[in-house]
């Protein structure tokens, strides 16, 4: 029996990194299934993702211990993941359900390798949708006065459900700095690409009034800087003067759903490495 693992590496760029990693895998009698690398001349850092298999008698802890000296030698930031383990995902949503519906369908059909462990909302609109898929639904209303307490409850649910990643599928609340720090690197948000030109409510109506010619969406990691976290995925669609605000909204919703699912897939397949404020995406 073979087990699959994914190794991700970020370190100062120098000669011998790939040779050392592949040499260690050879010592472990490992088989490299896929390998991608990138050296950034600006930051002088090297990035590597290796998908490999080893004999089932070798545990993840065994492999981890073997890599520790190599990580120290090259000053690596590295992680080792079980490639066959589905990520546990908690989804947060408000009153727009297109991204939630898309993620539920993709997870249920097997096209997205995740286990949705809970849906959480400050409204009850999508309770039946979630429970229809057999997924726990948590209703946590929030007001300015209860925001701090509500966020504590949210973090407790993330912990209780052992969620690996939190997806904000059009969750229309500004998150506190404390909350963002608690979920740093494991919370993904989606928004329309009009920001910051069309802030606030009804962005597609604002865009329609200004006669835009393209609309789009951006998925990014959540940080304390509102909608300014490292970008994971983006896409656009051409539009024209014949389209109403409602038609723009429909097209925009489709793009948001596609971009968010793409970003979640990159994250749970461990294809994203941070390069300062930018992301390296190994497709």
Catalytic machinery residues: 227
3-state DSSP percent of the chain in helix, strand and coil, to 5: 35, 30, 35
* Whole-number Å distance between alpha carbons of 168 and 103: 11
CB 154 within 8 A of CB 178: no
* Whole-number Å distance between alpha carbons of 93 and 123: 8
Residues 6+ away with beta carbon under 8 Å from 144 = none
In DSSP terms, which residues pair with 31 in a beta bridge?
53
The strand pair at 165-168 and 187-192 is best described as parallel
* Whole-number Å distance between alpha carbons of 222 and 231: 10
* Whole-number Å distance between alpha carbons of 13 and 47: 8
* Whole-number Å distance between alpha carbons of 264 and 232: 9
The strand pair at 272-275 and 278-281 is best described as antiparallel
């Amino acid at each position: 029996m073979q087990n699959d693992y994914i190794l991700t590496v970020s370190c100062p760029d120098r000669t011998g990194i790939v040779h050392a990693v592949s040499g260690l895998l050879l010592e472990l009698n490992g088989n490299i299934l896929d390998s991608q690398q990138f050296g950034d001349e600006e930051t002088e850092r090297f990035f590597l993702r290796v998908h490999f298999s080893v004999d089932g008698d070798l545990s993840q802890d065994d492999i981890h211990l073997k890599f520790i000296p190599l990580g120290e030698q090259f000053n690596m930031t590295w992680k080792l993941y079980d490639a066959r383990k589905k990520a546990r995902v908690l989804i947060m949503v408000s009153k727009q359900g297109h991204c939630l519906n898309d993620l539920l369908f993709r997870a249920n059909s097997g096209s997205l390798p995740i286990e949705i462990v809970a849906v959480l909302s400050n409204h009850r609109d999508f309770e039946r949708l979630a429970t229809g898929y057999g997924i726990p639904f948590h209703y946590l209303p929030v007001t300015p006065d209860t925001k701090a307490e509500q966020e504590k409850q949210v973090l407790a649910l993330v912990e209780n459900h052992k969620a690996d990643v939190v997806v904000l599928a059009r969750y229309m609340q500004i998150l506190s700095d404390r909350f963002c720090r608690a979920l740093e690197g494991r919370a993904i948000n989606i928004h329309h690409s009009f920001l910051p030109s069309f802030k606030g409510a009804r962005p597609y109506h604002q865009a329609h009034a200004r006669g835009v010619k393209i609309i789009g969406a951006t998925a990014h990691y959540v940080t304390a800087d509102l909608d300014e976290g490292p970008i994971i995925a983006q896409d656009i669609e051409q539009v024209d003067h014949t389209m109403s605000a409602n038609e723009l909204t429909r097209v925009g919703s489709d793009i948001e759903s596609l971009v968010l699912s793409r970003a979640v897939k990159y994250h749970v397949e461990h294809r994203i490495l941070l390069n300062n404020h930018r992301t390296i995406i190994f497709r």
